[in-house]
A and B are shown apart, each in its own frame.
Chain A
Amino acid sequence: MLITTLSFPEQLVLTLAALILLTSFIMLAQVRLDSLINTFAMQGLLLFFTTVLMAVISGEYHLLISAALTLFLKVFFIPIRLRRLVVDLDVRREVEVLGNPFLIMLFGTSLVLFSYYVALPIRALSLLSTRNTIAISLAVVLIGMLIVISRRKAITQVVGFMSMENGLFFAALVSTNGMPMVVELGIAFDVLVAAILFGVFFFHIRTEIGSLDTDRLNRLTEVEK
């Protein structure tokens, strides 16, 4: 939809979508763990506002329940738990990025362009006013995957994973005004359990190999040593 034809709340949704993409890029480039977790919380907050706006625009008030779930999980529970894990695990508050940061950012940009082309048939079909943001949601998912691939510390891989879930929730929101409630609740439950399990896992990794650097988890491989 040409942006000049949208109402102000809908323009605000587009702006929030662009800001969510910005937070994805910031997480891609972020070196320090505290800022990374805070940026993730910020992404969750932006997603919350977007959901509330979409609920108001489309009149589907069950989205407010999803918004509340997102707020609880992605803005409070997971970031607070991660911060506490960072303190408990005594993790050095730095993250080493694999490879050239600038190349990774460029790759992230190309992922955005790729998502744009992939999402073209979807955009052509959608009747929602926010259909342009489907490409952004796929880009957030793919950039989350890039974060998981390009990092070594286990906590950053988890943040990337949760960012993928953010992107998926956003995709469901802007393409179909949210999935049916039973599925949303199930996904939220899965994310919650996953977050708890990650925390447990971090302690196991730390106890066993003394750090959270997953590069040290390299005993099982097909290559002869």
Chain B
Amino acid sequence: MIALGLTLLFPLVGILLLGCIGHWRCAGFVNLVISIITFAAALVLAINIFQHGPILSAGKLFFIDAFNVYLIVLNAFVGMTTAVFSGPYMAHEMAIGRVDDGRMRLYYSMYQGFLFTMLIALSTNNLGVLWVSIEGATLATVLLVSLYRTRESIEAGWKYFIICGVGISQALFGTILVYFAAAKTIPGKNDGLLWTVLQEHASQMDSGVMALAFVFLLVGYGTKVGLVPLHNWLPDAHSEGPTPMSAILSGLLLNIALYAIVRFKMLVDPALGNHLAGNLMMGFGMLSFSVAGLLLHRQTDVKRMFSYSSIEHMGLMTFAFGIGGPLATFGALLHMIVHSLTKSAIFITVGHAAHIAGTQAIIEIRGLIRTQPFVGWGFLIGTCAIAGFPPFGVFTSEFLLFTATIKSYPWLVPPLLVGLAIAFAGLFRNLQPMVFGEPPPGQQPVTANMWPVIIHLALVIWLGISIPTVLADWLNQATIMIIGKGVL
């Protein structure tokens, strides 16, 4: 419990501290230190869980089990590696005058604020607090998306604010409905929002109300996941903000929204008894996957292109959770991890590439591998990873998903394959000239710390080839919790 307390405490301290000193030159370093401590505390927490099993805090406010422990560690880890990248990147942005003192303070304190709210969302047992913290994460990042105060970034920030705000209100209505259904079956008045208590009584809750609640929740949290047709904010918000923001938004926030949906699915499936929740998720997932793959081709901005790739992968994960078999669920859980790692690595590389070329337009970025081989190679390998090449982890999880789809819904495999091929084509069509083309005259390499990228990609390869037993165990336990049957 102390580990959890520390994991949550340090980002909170970071918010306050960096809010005051964020414009100093050491701010990036302070940010990194706080993130490292948070990560260390998260690791200690994970070891705790590994040794003792799930922990329910006193007062039942926090609950760490196999499903969220590795997500907490992943959160802290990506936060840490992105902080490594963010320090020099933002210092450079400040040097060229794109952000001033006040905005730097805002950036650093809200960076920690974002991590704080996400960690609370992952570790809480109270579904209302889950909503509050996801909305809090949105609020923390709104001003960061529009940090550069250009017309496009303000538009992106406004769309993000309004669309996510309206969407998440639907999720609150769904939560109220779940609380209402719980109030009928659960004795304690204040226990109606506690996930552990709800899970025990899930099969007794009224199916009509729970079905209605799940629709609202899927639409609400689905807006934050980026499911089509509620995805309009995502490409804008992920492309207009500073690159570290894009990395953690793409890598972490989408995961947490999907985590919330799956937590609710675990309550709704026993209550409903039929496959309605799964079918809805499959429908939305398939739609997002197909539409995003097609829209990928039209993009002229490199970050927007990868945002659509995020939408596509989140669609794939939603689809996998919707199928509901053990293989598909295991694959989806694995995909959450590897997608997060790969996408943040890609965005870091893209950040460097944009620095080299001075712009984010695909047409103008050329010849990365000649100008700065590390960045070029990182870009190439990262895109191969996200497109689903073996031996990367994305291939493993997609393979598991296909196996599951062939078993349960063989007629859906051709659209999936075609969609993957389309996305693959779109990514590589743009990648090839960016990496291998003729660099424009006068393009200079920049100081780039590629260590985060290397570590992330190495982890993804490791997870693709051989998942460590500890993690496999947790994923298996989570699969059993979600659908009742495990893989291993």
> Do A and B come into direct contact in the complex, CB within 8 Å?
yes
Chain A contacts to B: CB under 8 angstroms: 118, 121-122, 124-126, 138, 141, 145, 148, 154, 157, 161, 164-165, 168, 171-172, 175-176, 179-180, 182-183, 186-187, 189-190, 193-194, 197-198, 200-201, 204-205, 207-209, 214, 217-220, 222
Chain A minimum-CB-distance residue to B135: A190
By a CB distance below 8 angstroms, the chain A residues around B132 are: 183, 186-187, 189-190
In the docked arrangement, what's the CA distance between A123 and B126, Å?
A: 25
Chain-A contact segment, one of B26-34, B159-167, B327-335, B411-419: B159-167
By a CB distance below 8 angstroms, the chain A residues around B181 are: 125
Can you give 19 A-B contacts (C-beta < 8 A)?
Answer: A121-B206, A122-B209, A125-B209, A126-B180, A148-B166, A161-B162, A168-B173, A176-B183, A176-B192, A182-B129, A194-B165, A197-B142, A201-B143, A201-B158, A207-B149, A208-B154, A217-B155, A219-B155, A222-B295
Residue B152 interfacial (CB < 8 Å): yes
In the docked arrangement, what's the CA distance between A194 and B149, Å?
A: 19
In the complex the two chains form, is A204's CB within 8 Å of B128's CB? Answer: no
Chain A minimum-CB-distance residue to B184: A125
In the complex the two chains form, is B298's CB within 8 Å of A222's CB? Answer: yes
Q: A122-B209, A190-B132 are in contact. Are A208 and B151 (CB under 8 A)?
A: yes
In the complex the two chains form, is A197's CB within 8 Å of B161's CB? Answer: yes
Contacting residues of chain B (354-385) with chain A, CB-CB under 8 angstroms? none
In the docked arrangement, what's the CA distance between A183 and B189, Å?
A: 13
For A194, give its contact among B139, B146, B155, B295 (CB under 8 Å): B139
8 closest residue pairs by CB, A with B: A183-B128, A186-B132, A121-B208, A217-B155, A175-B180, A220-B236, A180-B190, A164-B169
In the complex the two chains form, is A161's CB within 8 Å of B206's CB? Answer: no
In the complex the two chains form, is B212's CB within 8 Å of A217's CB? Answer: no
In the docked arrangement, what's the CA distance between A27 and B133, Å?
A: 30
In the complex the two chains form, is B136's CB within 8 Å of A190's CB? Answer: yes
Chain B minimum-CB-distance residue to A172: B176
Chain A minimum-CB-distance residue to B298: A222
By a CB distance below 8 angstroms, the chain A residues around B173 are: 138, 141, 168, 171
In the complex the two chains form, is B162's CB within 8 Å of A205's CB? Answer: no
By a CB distance below 8 angstroms, the chain B residues around A154 are: 158
Contacting residues of chain B (170-195) with chain A, CB-CB under 8 angstroms? 170, 172-173, 176-177, 179-181, 183-184, 189-190, 192-193
For A208, give its contact among B150, B192, B209, B240 (CB under 8 Å): B150
In the complex the two chains form, is A125's CB within 8 Å of B206's CB? Answer: yes
Chain B contacts to A: CB under 8 angstroms: 126, 128-129, 131-133, 135-136, 139, 142-143, 146, 149-152, 154-159, 161-162, 165-166, 169-170, 172-173, 176-177, 179-181, 183-184, 189-190, 192-193, 206, 208-209, 212, 235-236, 240, 295, 298
In the docked arrangement, what's the CA distance between A164 and B295, Å?
A: 32
By a CB distance below 8 angstroms, the chain A residues around B177 are: 122, 175
CB distance from A158 to the nearest CB of B (A): 8
Q: A126-B180, A176-B183, A197-B139 are in contact. Are A208 and B149 (CB under 8 A)?
A: yes
In the complex the two chains form, is A190's CB within 8 Å of B139's CB? Answer: yes
In the docked arrangement, what's the CA distance between A194 and B131, Å?
A: 14
Chain B minimum-CB-distance residue to A126: B180
By a CB distance below 8 angstroms, the chain B residues around A205 are: 154, 158
In the complex the two chains form, is A168's CB within 8 Å of B169's CB? Answer: yes
In the complex the two chains form, is B152's CB within 8 Å of A201's CB? Answer: no
In the docked arrangement, what's the CA distance between A194 and B240, Å?
A: 21
In the complex the two chains form, is A145's CB within 8 Å of B166's CB? Answer: yes
CB distance from B477 to the nearest CB of A (A): 28
CB distance from A150 to the nearest CB of B (A): 13
CB distance from A66 to the nearest CB of B (A): 13
For A179, give its contact among B156, B157, B179 (CB under 8 Å): B179
Known: A125-B208, A190-B136, A207-B149. 12 other contacts (CB 8 A): A121-B209, A122-B209, A157-B162, A168-B176, A175-B176, A183-B128, A183-B129, A186-B128, A194-B135, A204-B157, A208-B149, A220-B152
By a CB distance below 8 angstroms, the chain B residues around A180 are: 126, 128, 189-190, 192-193
In the docked arrangement, what's the CA distance between A209 and B142, Å?
A: 18
For A200, give its contact among B133, B143, B235 (CB under 8 Å): B143
In the complex the two chains form, is B183's CB within 8 Å of A214's CB? Answer: no
By a CB distance below 8 angstroms, the chain B residues around A217 are: 151, 154-155, 158-159
In the complex the two chains form, is A220's CB within 8 Å of B184's CB? Answer: no
Q: A125-B184, A190-B132, A208-B150 are in contact. Are A176 and B161 (CB under 8 A)?
A: no
By a CB distance below 8 angstroms, the chain A residues around B179 are: 172, 176, 179
CB distance from B188 to the nearest CB of A (A): 10
